[in-house]
């Protein structure tokens, strides 16, 4: 992470070999496990995700630990941080009166010209921690393209672009979102007009540059590179795309890396970094926020749909404004969408088998409060900032604790409260224990009224049959199979290439 020769350290990283922590973490207090049913042997992923081909998540290793103390001497207002007056005013008009911890610690270092690696919990204001210093510099010397922000998912890129536009409105900030699923010609044209800030997913920006090498020139003076959700960007299959991106950026620039979770590759990157880098870690590696209540329900075989309907039926009574239901596979996501429709419950779904316009429209309907339930794969697990989300349900407990942290971080944002409930079947118990070990907490059981859970059993089982029929009739089963076949072909090609 040195200012000169940025690209090199990223490119020497090898892929993580396992999804477990590299070394035991001494900081987390061992806690006795409460009495639980014994785990079933070999807790493979739920049916569809075992091949990985229908899953939208990306596994990587993680670390664990205790929070560090806040720095009492740190400046207490945005003005104290050295930001221009117009930015202090914008923050105030957006309800941001005092900087959060990650902002207090990172903004002055970013303004001083340092590279910054910031690890802080979900919903703690990381976006402003990197956006405000960029906008401050743009206010002094507005030119395009001053900053390239790379983030792993399209929805997150769209959200970041919106946040940049809101914070940069007094500047008349021009911000382009270069994301897959939309007209690439229009995006290439937009890029050639040199917007101040480009927010992109790695694949789309690399494709735009590869298709028209002249476009690389728009980044010739770029001063800032941001990797948001940096552990995911670095650890996922984006290596080729990152090479293209680094090749067209000037060596002399600042790099900001932000995430809620740390990975081995990010840690190696830190170790490789020179003196001119600042590292802020609100805690070592892995943490959920204090204001989040975390529960689980032990689900009998065949009971997931019934328990889901039970929880959704209690939303009003429990003052839950909106809920996200996370599943492991695109198939389950679409299936639950049909199931809830059959049962007359208003919901939208978000997964990568859907066209991008339908993905964004689903998210818009959920964000605007038209629909209170979003069913989603891990494409929605990172970064999305929706203040009304009071409940996260892990319909399928994630296979990797890092995904758990990001999923439950969709609620209890910016010091608000929130509840997460994880469904745990007999074969998921090991996964639950892994998550508990990693977040350093034991979760309580969520008390269900069994009579209420089973009250609509006939209706739910009928809807289940109909939803499964629709999956086949409307071609979703074929889509799932096509994806699996494609994945197998890609893996075979990759193996051949490596040989
Ligand atoms: P982020 O972690 O960047 O997604 O931010 C989470 C939420 O916190 C967003 O809704 C921000 O608008 C809000 N936020 C960020 N910084 C502050 C602040 N200093 N004071 C109050 N809210 C903030």
The DSSP line for 424-492 is E-GGGHHHHHHHHHHHT-PPEEPP--HHHHHTTHHHHHHHHHHHHHHHHHTTHHHHHHHHHHHHHHHHH
Read off the tokens for 26.
């001494």
Read off the tokens for 298.
């032990």
Tens of pLDDT, residue by residue over 268-300, are: 777 766 656 788 887 665 678 889 999 999 999
**Closest Cα to atom 13, ligand 1: which residue?**
125
> Which of 77, 89, 125, 167 has most ligand 1 atoms within 8 Å of CB, for mutation?
125
What separation in Å is there between the alpha carbon of 199 and the centre of ligand 1?
A: 19
> Which of 93, 96, 387 has most ligand 1 atoms within 8 Å of CB, for mutation?
96
Q: Which helix (H) or strand (E) holds 115?
A: strand 115-119
**Closest Cα to atom 18, ligand 1: which residue?**
96
pLDDT the model gives residue 447: 95
Angle at 302 between CA 299 and CA 307, to 5 degrees: 50
Q: Does domain 292-474 have CATH number 3.40.50.300?
A: yes
**Closest Cα to atom 15, ligand 1: which residue?**
125
Residue list, ligand 1 pocket, CB within 6 Å: 95-96, 98-100, 103, 123-128, 385, 413-414
Read off the tokens for 228.
């948001």
User: Relative to the CA of 99, which ligand 1 atom is closest?
Assistant: 19
Residue burial 91-130, b: 16+ Cβ < 10 Å; e: rest: beeeebeebbbbbbbbbbbbeeebbbbbbbbbbbbbbbbb
Claim: this prediction has a pTM higher than 0.95: no
8-state DSSP, 138: H
Segment-wise mean pLDDT, segments of 10 residues, the chain, 499 residues: 32 31 30 40 33 46 31 72 96 95 95 93 94 98 96 95 97 96 94 98 96 95 96 86 93 93 81 72 75 96 96 97 97 97 97 92 96 97 94 96 94 91 96 93 95 96 97 88 79 71
Residues 6+ positions from 449 with CB-CB distance below 8 Å:
310
**Closest Cα to atom 1, ligand 1: which residue?**
125
CATH node for 60-67+75-281: 3.40.50.300
pLDDT the model gives residue 49: 33
Nearest to 385 by CA among 410, 404, 402: 410
What separation in Å is there between the alpha carbon of 258 and the centre of ligand 1?
A: 14
Q: What is the dihedral of CA 69, 3, 267, 178, to 10 degrees?
A: 100
What separation in Å is there between the alpha carbon of 119 and the centre of ligand 1?
A: 15
pLDDT the model gives residue 226: 96
User: Relative to the CA of 163, which ligand 1 atom is closest?
Assistant: 12
**Closest Cα to atom 12, ligand 1: which residue?**
125
Read off the tokens for 136.
């401050």
Residues 6+ positions from 498 with CB-CB distance below 8 Å:
none
Q: For residue 96, is it left (φ>0), alpha (ψ between -120 and 50) or beta? A: beta
Nearest to 81 by CA among 66, 68, 96: 96
Distances (CA, A) of 71 to 102, 281, 404: 11, 12, 28
Helices (H), 249-381: 264-272, 304-313, 330-342, 356-367
What separation in Å is there between the alpha carbon of 476 and the centre of ligand 1?
A: 38
What separation in Å is there between the alpha carbon of 4 and the centre of ligand 1?
A: 31
Return the bridge partners of 225, or none: 148, 255
> Which of 120, 127, 229, 405 has most ligand 1 atoms within 8 Å of CB, for mutation?
127
Asked if 366 and 357 count as a contact pair (C-beta separation under 8 A), the reply is no
Delimiting residues of CATH 3.40.50.300 domain(s) in the chain? 60-67+75-281, 292-474
What separation in Å is there between the alpha carbon of 100 and the centre of ligand 1?
A: 8
Query: Cis peptide before 145, with omega less than 30 degrees from 0?
Result: yes
């Amino acid at each position: 992470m040195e200012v000169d020769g940025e690209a090199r350290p990223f490119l020497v990283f090898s892929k993580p070999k396992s999804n477990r922590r590299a070394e035991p973490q001494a900081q987390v207090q061992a806690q006795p496990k409460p009495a639980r049913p014994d785990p079933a042997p070999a807790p493979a992923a739920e049916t569809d995700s075992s091949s990985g081909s229908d899953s939208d998540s990306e596994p990587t290793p993680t670390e664990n630990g205790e929070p560090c103390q806040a720095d009492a001497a740190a400046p207490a207002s945005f003005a104290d941080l050295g930001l221009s007056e117009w930015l202090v005013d914008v923050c105030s008009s957006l309800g941001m009166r005092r900087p959060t911890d990650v902002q207090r610690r990172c903004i002055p270092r970013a303004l001083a010209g340092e590279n910054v690696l910031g690890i802080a919990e979900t919903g703690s204001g990381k976006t402003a921690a990197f956006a405000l210093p960029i906008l401050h510099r743009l206010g002094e010397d507005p030119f395009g393209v001053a900053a390239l922000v790379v983030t792993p998912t399209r929805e997150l890129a769209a959200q970041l672009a919106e946040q940049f536009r809101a914070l940069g409105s007094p500047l008349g900030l021009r911000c382009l979102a270069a994301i897959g699923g939309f007209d690439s010609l229009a995006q290439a044209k937009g890029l050639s007009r040199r917007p101040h800030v480009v927010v992109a997913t790695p694949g789309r920006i690399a494709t735009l540059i590869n298709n028209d090498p002249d476009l690389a020139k728009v980044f010739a003076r770029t001063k800032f590179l941001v990797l948001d959700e940096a552990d995911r960007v670095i650890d996922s299959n984006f290596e080729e795309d990152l090479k293209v991106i680094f090749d067209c950026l000037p060596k002399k620039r600042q790099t900001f890396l932000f995430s809620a979770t740390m990975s081995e590759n990010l840690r190696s990157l830190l170790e490789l970094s020179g003196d001119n880098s600042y590292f802020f870690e609100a805690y070592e590696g892995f943490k959920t926020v204090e204001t989040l209540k975390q529960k689980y329900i032990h689900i009998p075989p065949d009971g997931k749909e019934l328990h889901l309907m039970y929880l959704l039926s209690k939303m009003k009574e429990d003052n839950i404004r909106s809920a996200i239901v996370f599943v492991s596979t695109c198939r389950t996501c679409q299936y639950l969408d049909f199931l809830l429709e059959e049962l007359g419950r208003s919901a939208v779904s978000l997964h990568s088998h859907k066209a991008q316009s339908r993905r964004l429209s689903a998210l818009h309907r959920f964000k605007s409060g038209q629909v209170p339930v979003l069913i989603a794969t891990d494409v929605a697990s990172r970064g999305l900032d929706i203040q009304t989300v009071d409940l996260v349900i892990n319909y399928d407990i994630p296979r990797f604790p890092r995904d758990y942290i990001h999923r439950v971080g969709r609620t209890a944002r910016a010091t608000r409260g929130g509840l997460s409930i994880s469904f745990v079947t007999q074969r998921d118990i090991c996964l639950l224990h892994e998550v508990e070990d990693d977040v350093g907490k034991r979760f309580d059981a969520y008390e269900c009224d069994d009579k209420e859970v089973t009250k609509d059993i006939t209706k739910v089982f009928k809807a289940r049959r109909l939803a499964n029929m629709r999956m086949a009739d409307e071609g979703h089963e074929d889509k799932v199979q096509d994806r699996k076949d494609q994945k197998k072909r890609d893996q075979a090609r990759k193996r051949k290439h490596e040989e």
